[in-house]
Structure 1
């Protein structure tokens, strides 16, 4: 609570500064000339923070139309270091304040210039209650979902949700993010688009992260895949790795290529990350290697229809409640 109040006070100070600079709240524009994405931001709560990942998740209110306010989720994370920039910084003998010195070990405070002090800021606005809960710290529980559980519990739950994936269709129809496409196979059945994930700043291949989005609609997740989808999956594997080799000079054996179950949205997509990158969502209870998925479907077309799949759900997840209500956990 004390931390949240401090953050709120700082947020109010920034708001007042913006008002003074821009003759009123919400008037400040981005460098691209558009409306500021967080007009009049007021902090409501710190949802979660990670000292290890240098990331903080915030829930706040922003000015909407007229006197209305909108909820916003803001994710702030320190940008990764770049070797050349850091080398140049240290080579110029920057001011360093000693914090601790013991024999050969020294700890110093160094204030980098603005160009090395970027904070990647992701804004979700207007944010729904589901968005806010997604980033709130929660306990997690393992679910062992049998094929019949999927049909009786999970699928009805998915179909009852109103979550829109129009943003995915906007990408496929090139109404949005067309300039970010790395590779395209336009075949409506077996094609896909490959583009960088927003978690990657595209400045170093060490933490490469791209997403392949299926052109074909109606494939929600692993559970829908059969041998009929093998041409699509093979295209994603082969053409995706070839495109990454051509653009980023990473070999196929330097990549981690996987699907999530449960996925974060129900349209078939495949993750490509640099093998050395400790990317989120690569744990054994969520990630399924694409090469394994292909091999499993080659052996049994109904493999993912009948297979028991284990995954984790947060304690506030509505799907977890469905399993509890059904006496399955």
Structure 2
């Protein structure tokens, strides 16, 4: 069972209400949002860095997005970020944040990064060796073709320390 994977226990502990409940800034039945550890001062909006964790455990990466329900979920996420989450931060406009996925991700539970546009230091560090897929682009691609992410080529870098790279070397 997917929930038995040890490296994701921290995620499931949050979902199950066992850990980090005081850090959740927005939550509904489909996802929750909390500050990333990189955002050390929540009064400094320009350093905003949050993670949105999708609760559906079948969604591990953007490759798992393939249905009209998934497309609706992503549109709802965008709407909730704009109309509910960012309202908590002084009505910060949606165009002031970057919303993106990584492929390959650092862990395999679908999550979305929410980063203030002026947070260049953390944003650039997140780009190193990773391919970002912006939420709007993912939505557009799924609108064109629901199986886009099952068919498309996604190129990404592997650094020497990555587990996947090590496995290829064996």
Scaled by the length of structure 1, what TM-score is found? 0.46
Cα offset for 1:176?
0.8
1:316: Cα distance to partner?
Answer: 3.2
Gap regions ≥5 residues in structure 1:
1-158
Q: Which of 91, 99, 103 is the matching residue for 1:257?
A: 99
Aligned to 1:198: 37
Paired residues, what number? Answer: 161
Match of 1:45 in 2: none
Q: Check whether the contact 1:185–1:193 (CA below 8 A) recurs between aligned residues.
A: yes
Name the SS for the 1:195 alignment partner.
strand
CA distance in 2, matches of 1:284, 1:165: 22
Seen in structure 2, the aligned counterparts of structure 1 residues 264 and 284 have a Cα distance that, compared at 3 Å, is closer
Q: 3-state DSSP class of the match of 1:311?
A: coil
Q: Which has the higher contact order (CA 8 A, sep 6+)?
A: 2
Deviations 1:294-324 (A, max 9, x none): 1101111111111111111111323124446
Partners of 2:100 and 2:112 within 8 A in 1: yes
Tell me whether 1:293 sits opposite 2:132 in the alignment.
no
Per-residue deviation at 1:281?
1.3
For 1:256-275, list aligned pairs within 5 A. Answer: 256-275=98-117
Asked whether the equivalents of residues 199 and 209 of structure 1 are also in contact (C-alpha less than 8 Å), the reply is: yes
Do the aligned partners of 2:102 and 2:131 also contact (CA within 8 Å) in 1? yes
Q: Is the 8 A contact 1:260 1:287 kept in 2?
A: yes
Task: Select the structure that is richer in strand.
Answer: 1
Secondary structure at 1:314 match in 2? coil
Normalization by structure 2: what TM-score? Answer: 0.86
Task: Tell me which residue corresponds to 1:248.
Answer: 89
Per-residue CA distance 1:126-180 (angstroms, 9 max, x = gap):
xxxxxxxxxxxxxxxxxxxxxxxxxxxxxxxxx9xx6520110111111111111
Q: CA deviation at 1:210?
A: 0.9
1:14-51 CA-to-partner distances (Å, cap 9, x unmatched) read xxxxxxxxxxxxxxxxxxxxxxxxxxxxxxxxxxxxxx
Counterpart check, 1:170 vs 2:13: yes
Q: State the match for 2:62 in structure 1.
A: 222
Instruction: For structure 2, list consecutive stretches of 5 or more residues without a partner in the other structure.
Output: none
* Structure 1 CA distance for aligned equivalents of residues 151 and 65 of structure 2: 11
Residue 209 of structure 1 is matched in structure 2 by 49
Find the aligned partners of 2:107 and 2:97 in 1 and give their Cα distance. 23
